[in-house]
Structure 1
């Protein structure tokens, strides 16, 4: 999300305009604190790197080097936050998954190229540049303010001071006293530095931002990693769906299909005996009726996990209200998703199964007395939030239903967040892009 206060509109360079001063303030708020951040990062990283490198031969330096790069990553996140406040959206960054803190794991952690880019920025680039930019910005700011106010404070200087205007003969050229000539000189260079101030501060901020983007972001690697993650998750979803279909096929063959065959045979036998043996035919029909009931029960059991006709016919809001009605725990439904509103089929199915699985977990495991379902629709995303007042402790573990939800959401580029401290309450939040 873009920073609404970032200087992204048309720049103003006229010093008398308020937007020019807002731009100067924004640029200085980015430049000046950056110097102190770079000073702290330079000191910490040089110390840790020197200590780690000098003790690497006795293996003590290995965890110190890992800590050095972790510190560089932290300072990089601080710099990215500052850049985001100044510029709005910035490119993403990608780090490799951290390994365990074994010997081999620490060596693998040291092989992350983005961590070394963070270190390079913190030691070699930002400190040198920001020291210079800090001095330049302070010089221009001080010279402009000092020159424009020189006519006030000049009279308080010690007696015997020789003004610059007198050295260069400006008083004789203008035909005024040395003090007056010095005041006019101060106003002249103060005004010049003030006019140049917005150009200089913005140039310094733009150059700093360019170096920060170059070293502390890596859009290509981030997009590549995201693509690999989506490919793997979607392959997992496809594999699970194929496995589910095979299971349904086996269950249909072994259960309802066999009962329907038996039902057909009983009905045909009853038809043959209805004239000669009515009692026997009645027993066969009773058995056929029982077979039909069991087949219907098995079909209902198999249909769980398959999107219901209500979702296809009346939309997501009606299907979710139906789930809330069937829940053993009272569920209040709210949100701005209207009845009859239709979304992409993949988004509707994913949202339905998220709510279905979440409410099943609430009924079975939470011990809650009340739950709430909130469904909010934005132009680009669908947001779901399910809360309950139960005992908490829900987590995403392999083999659990919530883990399956994460895989299902990953297949539509969605995300899942679970907040469930011990003692409750539990909050499950899911977001589903509408363009997935």
Structure 2
């Protein structure tokens, strides 16, 4: 027997889903009466007393109460209507403190939409209750269709008035991404500081001390002084090499001067995979410099992972443009099993890419191969402006 389609399963009919919807509609009236009786008097008092401090406190209490009530309504819609209603973020002030919470509540869009919902629910509750009861008594064969149509209105009310708006969700998403980028930048700064302190800085301190000793021995023991200067010269070379490696890790000069093709080819040449790395870059022009940097370091991290952890013999890197997106794919023939785990390297790459509205997908079955695909905007929003 074939499985019924989604449309067939959701077609109005006498079933448990219709009973839950009817229960929701019958409850609209008592909820509407309660919400209206609570909202309208308190709103009138609050607005009427706005010239005094009392009005603000009345409105604050009303909005807090209705915002809590909206959570119950969203739960009711999830249980009885099967509506997947997202929960909004809690009200928070820009800074800690009770007065900041008061200001945030008085300016909260969801709280004021809850006021509108409470006012609308009385007339709508009367309509929904009446139509459901009349259909149950007089038009019973049509009950599933009547219930379905009325519950669609309830879904629209909950979705439009009691759900976080798309803009609000987008702002919260961008705030999370910004926090991830800030954490990543702070970790990078700590790594650079550690590398400078433990590497080049330590060598330069040693070099200064050796040159000081060589200066003292210059007249007493010229041969020893010459040997010390020769050793210091070698230390200078090592320090310069470490500084070049560090600078390459921050932003390689070849990327700035010649773009992704040359930079990735240089990166592939240094990768220690036995079978080498094949690089194919097909770009009609260069993307935004920030996007180039993200793409470069994504490939660098993925090739490092392939060399250290996947036991791969070879890898390939492909970069191309698709409309206004920069596409990136890195594949290795290693053992697979790579996962985007919280706190892991792949999760850090994903956060950096998603912070600029990018997409990061890992396909790495056990046994390999590992395919990582990233999609980045061709231009950042700042560059576009």
Range class of TM-score, shorter chain: 0.5 to 0.7
Q: Does 1:39 align with 2:56?
A: no
- 1:426 equivalent among 370, 377, 383: 370
Q: Does 1:368 align with 2:368?
A: no
Larger C-alpha radius of gyration, 1 or 2? 1
Distance 1:317 1:290 in 2: 34
- 3-state SS of 1:375 partner: strand
- Give the aligned partner of residue 344 of structure 1: 288
The alpha carbon displacement at 1:319 in A equals 1.2
The alpha carbon displacement at 1:310 in A equals 0.9
Distance 2:153 2:327 in 1: 36
- TM-score (structure 2 length as normaliser): 0.58
- 1:95 equivalent among 75, 81, 86: 86
Q: Does 1:332 align with 2:349?
A: no
- Give the aligned partner of residue 183 of structure 2: 239
The alpha carbon displacement at 1:407 in A equals 1.6
Residue pair 1:311, 1:318 contacting (<8 A) in 2 also = yes
Structure 1 unpaired stretches of 5+: 1-32, 53-64, 77-93, 98-112, 114-119, 133-209
The alpha carbon displacement at 1:226 in A equals 2.5
Q: Does 1:398 align with 2:342?
A: yes
- 3-state SS of 2:307 partner: helix
Distance 2:81 2:208 in 1: 74
The alpha carbon displacement at 1:401 in A equals 1.0
CA-to-partner distance for each residue in 1:191-214, whole Å, 9 max, x for gaps? xxxxxxxxxxxxxxxxxxx97995
TM-align CA RMSD: 4.1
Paired positions, count? 269
Q: Does 1:315 align with 2:259?
A: yes
- Give the aligned partner of residue 6 of structure 1: none
CA-to-partner distance for each residue in 1:299-358, whole Å, 9 max, x for gaps? 3554464121111111122212222222223222225225xx322122111111111111
> Cα 1:48–1:410, aligned 2, differ >3 Å: closer, same or farther?
same
Q: Does 1:252 align with 2:196?
A: yes
Residue pair 2:12, 2:144 contacting (<8 A) in 1 also = no
- Give the aligned partner of residue 81 of structure 1: none
Residue pair 2:14, 2:144 contacting (<8 A) in 1 also = yes
Residue pair 1:373, 1:384 contacting (<8 A) in 2 also = yes
CA-to-partner distance for each residue in 1:157-215, whole Å, 9 max, x for gaps? xxxxxxxxxxxxxxxxxxxxxxxxxxxxxxxxxxxxxxxxxxxxxxxxxxxxx979957
The alpha carbon displacement at 1:244 in A equals 2.6
Residue pair 1:35, 1:131 contacting (<8 A) in 2 also = no
- 1:277 equivalent among 210, 213, 221: 221
Structure 2 unpaired stretches of 5+: 25-74, 89-113, 115-127, 133-142, 381-385
